[in-house]
Amino acid sequence: MSRNFVVRVKERGADEACFVQFELHDDIGLQADGLITLDLAPGTTIDDAKELASLLNSKAIKISLVS
Protein backbone atom coordinates (compact mmCIF):
# COMPACT_ATOMS: atom_id res chain seq x y z
CA MET A 1 0.00 0.00 0.00
CA SER A 2 1.30 3.44 -0.83
CA ARG A 3 0.26 6.83 0.48
CA ASN A 4 -2.37 8.80 -1.41
CA PHE A 5 -1.26 12.12 0.05
CA VAL A 6 1.64 14.36 1.02
CA VAL A 7 1.52 16.36 4.24
CA ARG A 8 2.87 19.90 4.15
CA VAL A 9 3.42 22.36 6.98
CA LYS A 10 1.62 25.68 6.58
CA GLU A 11 2.12 28.85 8.56
CA ARG A 12 -0.45 31.43 9.52
CA GLY A 13 0.11 34.97 10.73
CA ALA A 14 2.33 36.06 13.58
CA ASP A 15 1.43 34.54 16.96
CA GLU A 16 -0.86 31.95 15.33
CA ALA A 17 -0.25 28.21 15.46
CA CYS A 18 0.88 26.55 12.26
CA PHE A 19 -1.03 23.62 10.77
CA VAL A 20 -0.45 20.64 8.52
CA GLN A 21 -2.36 20.16 5.30
CA PHE A 22 -2.90 16.93 3.39
CA GLU A 23 -2.42 17.27 -0.38
CA LEU A 24 -4.36 14.36 -1.85
CA HIS A 25 -3.18 12.39 -4.88
CA ASP A 26 -6.35 10.33 -5.32
CA ASP A 27 -10.04 11.16 -5.43
CA ILE A 28 -11.41 10.13 -2.04
CA GLY A 29 -14.81 11.79 -2.46
CA LEU A 30 -13.84 15.15 -0.99
CA GLN A 31 -15.38 18.17 -2.67
CA ALA A 32 -13.08 19.72 -5.27
CA ASP A 33 -12.32 22.74 -3.08
CA GLY A 34 -12.19 20.74 0.17
CA LEU A 35 -9.09 20.49 2.32
CA ILE A 36 -7.95 18.18 5.08
CA THR A 37 -5.96 20.01 7.73
CA LEU A 38 -4.81 19.34 11.25
CA ASP A 39 -4.93 22.49 13.36
CA LEU A 40 -2.13 22.24 15.88
CA ALA A 41 -2.37 23.44 19.46
CA PRO A 42 -1.22 26.94 20.35
CA GLY A 43 2.45 26.88 21.23
CA THR A 44 3.25 24.14 18.72
CA THR A 45 6.51 25.07 17.04
CA ILE A 46 7.26 24.87 13.33
CA ASP A 47 9.78 22.14 14.18
CA ASP A 48 7.03 20.13 15.93
CA ALA A 49 4.83 20.49 12.86
CA LYS A 50 7.67 19.41 10.55
CA GLU A 51 8.29 16.36 12.74
CA LEU A 52 4.61 15.40 12.52
CA ALA A 53 4.56 15.91 8.74
CA SER A 54 7.71 13.83 8.36
CA LEU A 55 6.22 11.00 10.44
CA LEU A 56 2.99 10.96 8.42
CA ASN A 57 4.87 11.14 5.12
CA SER A 58 7.11 8.23 6.10
CA LYS A 59 4.25 5.77 6.67
CA ALA A 60 2.43 3.64 4.09
CA ILE A 61 -1.05 4.82 5.08
CA LYS A 62 -4.03 6.05 3.09
CA ILE A 63 -6.63 8.70 3.77
CA SER A 64 -10.28 7.86 3.10
CA LEU A 65 -13.67 9.44 3.71
CA VAL A 66 -16.36 7.35 5.30
CA SER A 67 -19.94 8.51 5.39
> In this predicted model, what pLDDT tens digit does every residue of 46-56 receive, in sequence order?
999 999 999 99
| Distance, CA of 51 to CA of 9 (rounded, Å) | 10
Q: Give the single-character DSSP code of 47.
A: H
Give the residue ranges of DSSP H helices in the chain: 46-58
Please report the pLDDT score of residue 52 as a whole number.
Answer: 96
- Residue 35's pLDDT band (cuts 50, 70, 90): very high
pLDDT score of 38 more than 90? yes
| Distance, CA of 19 to CA of 66 (rounded, Å) | 23
Are 38 and 11 within 8 A, CB to CB? no
Please report the pLDDT score of residue 40 as a whole number.
Answer: 93
Q: Of 49, 58, 53, give the one whose Cα is nearest residue 3.
A: 58
